[in-house]
Amino acid sequence: MSSSAGSFPPEQGLRNNYMNSPVAKIKERLSIEEVVSSYIKLDRAGVNLKAKCPFHNEKTPSFFVSPDRGSYYCFGCGAGGDIFSFVEEFEGLDFKGALKLLADKAGIPLEHFNPKEESDKEKLYRVMEEAAKYFENNLLHNKEAQNYLKTRGLNEKSIKDFRIGFANLDWRLLYNYLVKKGFTDKEIEAAGLTKASDKGFYDRFRGRVMFPIMDSGGRVIAFSGRIFIDDGKSAKYLNSPETPVFNKSAVLYGLDKAKESIRKNNFSILVEGQMDLILSHQAGYKNTIATSGTALSDTTISKESVVSNLGLVRRLTPNIVLAFDGDVAGANASNRAGRIALSLGMDVKVVAMQEGVDPADLISQNGSGASAPAWREAIKNSKHIIEFLLNKTLENSSNDTRKIGKEIKEKVLPFVDMLGSAIEKAHFIKKISDQSNIPESALKDDLQKIEQELKYEKREIEEAEESLSGMYRKDYILRKLSGIILWQRTLKEQALDVENTIKKLADILKISPELVLENSKGSEGDLIFEAEVFYGGDADLKKDVEEMLSNLEEEYLKEELARKMRELYLAEEAGDPQKSNQILKECQLLNNQIQDIKNGRLKK
């Protein structure tokens, strides 16, 4: 997006030319039905359409789309909104990212709708884009690095499509280049491209093959650099730090190029490395995504991050094939991701990989062209994770039934426990019994014990999922409200009592009014732009703001209730009836408040 023309001076607002706003134009051309059904399958339900909610794990559909109102709502998790909020949440994009994507889809040019000032975030995107171009250009002049990529099996098209580049082994080449392009030290450092020292700034990436990481809209948000000449001291892979545009728990490598194919083929293939991913795409498996540069395969990373990343894929399809490296670390990462994926209601298959072999090796076998027969066979022969683990356990153990029983209890049954449906559990118990000759009743007894042991872990995953969607919704509403406040302040005639709105917001957040806009610092331009194009022609702004406030309050009360329920659980475990009673009363009070908000909504 170019940032030159600014067509809505804030002081005029949008009231008069609302119909010219990009939001209105896009909504005119794209129906909610069209947009949502390009992501998930919708079924008729009277005048509405319904589906299983893409934003939470459920078995019966409670996600409804209303073509008349141009909106959607989920009765299970409370997700709701229009085509813009849908694309934002589904794709993990910010408003401008969603605007760009939908404008492209609707065939509407965006040039005229940009605000005059480039925001901090837009600068970050631009500096990352410049760096990517710089690295790409370096690679064009580096025969050695090109040869390396070719010996690894990459063809020229893949190198170009994935925008692979090279960072020369020097201290300040990129830094100097970006300064010449007009970026400040602060901007370059904020993008994670340089580090500060006593002697000034120096480049973070040196002597590395550079893989840009894109968000699902295709914007460069980070880099992963692979060491070119191993000096034995430097890390093999170096990733960008977290920045305002790079959140490690909300990005998978290659998702921007894989999402269409994942949707079409109704399954995804998850690999560990960039090389694995690019070669898999090159071999025709464009539904491949990778964990590299993200948190999924790192065992020190929180469950929340894994849940968040797998949640991104689950929205596209619940079917996932894990193809991790054939070593101990790979197996551990695969098991961890597999367990969490199962508990998120996904169908998980595993590709059997020989010790010391990774997908890149397998694909390069017999050439890495579009056929890649070894890779094709491996994916075709992938097995459900429980079957896979069962086979492995039976292969590795002797004929000692007691020993086999113990191994199955430790290595296989915990995965059965993660399954959501009782029918599926019964199916696998039978299968395990058939193959191991252990009676079903004995397996069921063991499974019950495991259910007790893993109760806490399962609850943790559920809570992570809930708190993530709650956090997302809270942030989303807060951002919208902050934008409206900032925007209204720029107008002479305000459609809203701004100070009162701030006060209400402060009450909900339990902070002082002065701190309400604290988190908006640095992104005011973006927020005003978003509010203006979104609510510029809104005759019911006051009502909409009231609704947002009550939704936000509900999210906070729900969060408080979840916290209290945890305390209640602990007090009960500790056998403290007095404390339990007290907490129970508090829970009931919170519950009443939540019900009041819900009832109020129904009356409208």
**List of residues contacting Zn ion (CB under 5 A):** 53, 55-56, 74, 76-77, 79
Q: Name which of 121 and 315 has its Cβ closer to Zn ion.
A: 315
Judge whether 102 and 84 are in contact, CB under 8 Å: yes
Residue 6's alpha-carbon distances to 16, 108, 165, 187, in angstroms, are 16, 17, 34, 23
Nearer to Zn ion, 128 or 461 (CB): 461
- Which single residue is written with the structure tokens 């020190």? 300
Task: Report the amino acid identity of residue 472.
Answer: Y
CB closer to Zn ion, 136 vs 466: 466
CB of 77 to Zn ion, least distance (A): 3
Report in angstroms how near the CB of residue 166 gets to Zn ion at its nearest. 44
Shortest distance (Å) from residue 534 CB to Zn ion: 23
Of residues 55 and 135, the one with the C-beta less far from Zn ion? 55
Instruction: Pick between residue 63 and residue 177 the one whose CB is nearest to Zn ion.
Output: 63
Least separation in angstroms between CB 564 and Zn ion: 23
Question: Which two tokens mark 125?
Answer: 């995107």
Report the C-alpha gap between 49 and 42 in whole angstroms: 6
Q: At what angle do helices 328-343 and 385-396 cross, to 10 degrees?
A: 140
End-to-end CA distance of the chain: 40
The CB-of-55 to Zn ion minimum distance in angstroms stands at 5
Q: What interhelical angle do 440-489 and 83-91 show, nearest 10?
A: 130
Which H, E and C letters describe 168-187, residue by residue? Answer: CCCCCHHHHHHHHCCCCHHH
Q: At closest approach, how far in Å is the CB of 79 from Zn ion? A: 5
Q: Could you tell me the smallest distance in angstroms from the CB atom of residue 563 to Zn ion?
A: 21
Residue 543 token pair = 């009502």
Complex with Zn ion: residue 56 or 384, whichever CB lies closer: 56
Q: How far apart are CA 203 and CA 206, in angstroms?
A: 7
Closest to Zn ion by CB, 50 or 121:
50
3-class DSSP state for residue 532?
helix
Which residues, in sequence order, are bridge partners of residue 44? 49
Could you tell me the CA-to-CA distances from 482 to 245, 501, 579 in Å, in that order? 19, 10, 39
What is the closest distance, in whole angstroms, from the C-beta atom of residue 345 to Zn ion in the complex?
Answer: 12
Cα distance between residue 103 and residue 253, in whole Å: 24
> Which residues are within 8 A (CB) of 265 and not within 5 positions of it... i.e. 6 or more apart?
287
Least distance to Zn ion, CB of residue 377, Å:
38
Q: Residue 79 or residue 290: which is nearer to Zn ion going by CB? A: 79
The answer to whether the beta carbons of residues 559 and 592 sit under 8 Å apart is no
